[in-house]
Amino acid sequence: MKQVLFVCLGNICRSPLAHGLMEHRIKHLKLPIKVDSAALSHYHIGEPPCSVSQKLARSKGIDISYIRSQHISEFDLSKYDLIVAMDEDNKQELLALGVQNVKKLGDFGFDGKDVADLYYEPHKKEEAWKMIEKGTLEIIKLVV
C-alpha cells in the first residue's frame, strides 16, 4: 500500500484539507493508498482544522472535523512513498531534517507555486482549494 503525508506549519489549514480531500477520493475510488497529515510546529498539536478550512471542506461535501494536528515527529517518515509540503518553507525545513521523497503540492500542476496559508490569508481559500483539488488528483495518478 502506498503512503502519502501532507505537511504544513500547523496542520490546521492546508494539510488537513489535502488529507481530507485525498482520503475522500481514495475511499470512493477504493485505492490502496494511506494518507495522513502533520505539522512542523508544535503550535496546534491536538487541535482540529481551523474553521476556515472546515467550512471550505464542508462546502465541497467533505468532513475534515475528525482530523487532529499531529507533529511530524510522531511519524516514521521512511514509510511514506511521498511527503508533500504545502510551501517552500515547509519543503526546506523537511529537507533540512533529512527527509526523503519531498515535493511541494505546487509541483503537481502549478509550477512549484506555494499553497496560500489560510491561517493568515483566509481570503485565498478558493485559490488554495483549486490547487489542493488538482494537486491531489495528480498525486493519486503518480502513486497508483
Catalytic residue among 13, 14, 50, 87, which? 14
**Residue 8 annotated as catalytic:** yes
**Residue 68 annotated as catalytic:** no
Cell 488529507 appears where? 19
Catalytic residue among 36, 87, 114, 117, which? 117
Quickly count: other Cβ atoms within 10 Å of residue 99's Cβ: 18
Distance CA 45, CA 34 (A): 21
Handedness of CA 38, 39, 43, 44 (dihedral sign): negative
**Residue 14 annotated as catalytic:** yes
Q: Which helix (H) or strand (E) holds 139?
A: helix 125-143
Catalytic residue among 8, 13, 36, 87, which? 8
Give which of 71, 57, 98 is closest to 9, Cα–Cα.
71
Check if the beta carbon of residue 9 is closer than 8 Å to that of residue 39: yes
Residues annotated as catalytic are 8, 14, 117
